[in-house]
Chain A
Amino acid sequence: NAGVTQTPKFQVLKTGQSMTLQCAQDMNHNSMYWYRQDPGMGLRLIYYSASEGTTDKGEVPNGYNVSRLNKREFSLRLESAAPSQTSVYFCASSPHPPGQGAQLEQYFGPGTRLTVT
């Protein structure tokens, strides 16, 4: 099993460009998450999907859209990239739905380092 995979690993964008970060998991998990990690701050939740076909906003959703294409894949799209979106992005999945702490059992992808100039 590959676990959680993310592509690309690195990306440099110019302000205003768009791109999609891809995430896939092969563990048959229901829940999937997108986080960003910035220096001096903890991981912050951008969007999550409790099951195929559903998505919900997290703590910092502005400037992003997501698609839960199927049970395996959860993509994050930046429509018009801004320098404030320079960050490391992590995708994670969980066998448990959000709630009652069970979603803490999360498996993380290797991350995508995005720089917006």
Chain B
Amino acid sequence: KNEVEQSPQNLTAQEGEFITINCRYSVGISALHWLQQHPGGGIVSLFMLSSGKKKHGRLIATINIQEKHSSLHITASHPRDSAVYICAVAEETSGSRLTFGEGTQLTVNP
């Protein structure tokens, strides 16, 4: 069983839809990271959070430390949002180790 599980693995939406991607983890963490991987392969950071909620443009990330769960929401989705979204956690007990989810492939159709 993966320590970080994302759902769904694949998601197809129509332009304008509200999208939610979930990340559940089984270890104690000090922080969580959402990343976006473009079709060309490049990976960029979206959010880092250890509590509460962060918003950037149409993207919102929330985390519930007690429930070991984070969500990434995209409002008014657009075809340019099509990418793989990756959740990663920094484990409390391991200073160096980061654990990554497998990623969620999002396709937004016009």
A binding-site residues for B, Cβ under 8 Å: 40-45, 48, 50, 56, 58-59, 88, 90, 98-108, 110-111, 113
A42-B101 in contact (CB<8A): yes
- Counting contact residues on chain B (CB < 8 A from A), the size range is 20 to 34
Residue from B45, B90, B100 within 8 A of A101 (CB atoms) = B90
Chain A contacts of B43 at CB under 8 A? 90, 108, 111
CB distance from B85 to the nearest CB of A (A): 12
Q: List 14 A-B contacts (CB under 8 A).
A: A41-B102, A42-B4, A48-B96, A58-B97, A100-B31, A100-B90, A101-B29, A101-B31, A101-B90, A104-B31, A104-B88, A110-B41, A110-B42, A113-B41
A103-B102 in contact (CB<8A): no
CA distance A110 to B41 in the complex (A): 6
CA distance A58 to B32 in the complex (A): 19
A45, A58, A104, most chain B CB atoms within 10 A:
A104
B binding-site residues for A, Cβ under 8 Å: 2, 4, 29-33, 35, 40-45, 48, 50, 86, 88, 90, 95-103
Residue from A42, A48, A108 within 8 A of B103 (CB atoms) = A42
B96-A106 in contact (CB<8A): no
Chain A contacts of B90 at CB under 8 A? 100-104
CB distance from A112 to the nearest CB of B (A): 10
Chain A contacts of B40 at CB under 8 A? 110
CA distance A58 to B29 in the complex (A): 18
B42-A108 in contact (CB<8A): yes
CB distance from A42 to the nearest CB of B (A): 3
B2-A42 in contact (CB<8A): yes
Query: A43 with B29: in contact, given A98-B95, A99-B96, A105-B48 (CB under 8 Å)?
Result: no
CB distance from A49 to the nearest CB of B (A): 11
CA distance A40 to B105 in the complex (A): 11
CB distance from A24 to the nearest CB of B (A): 16
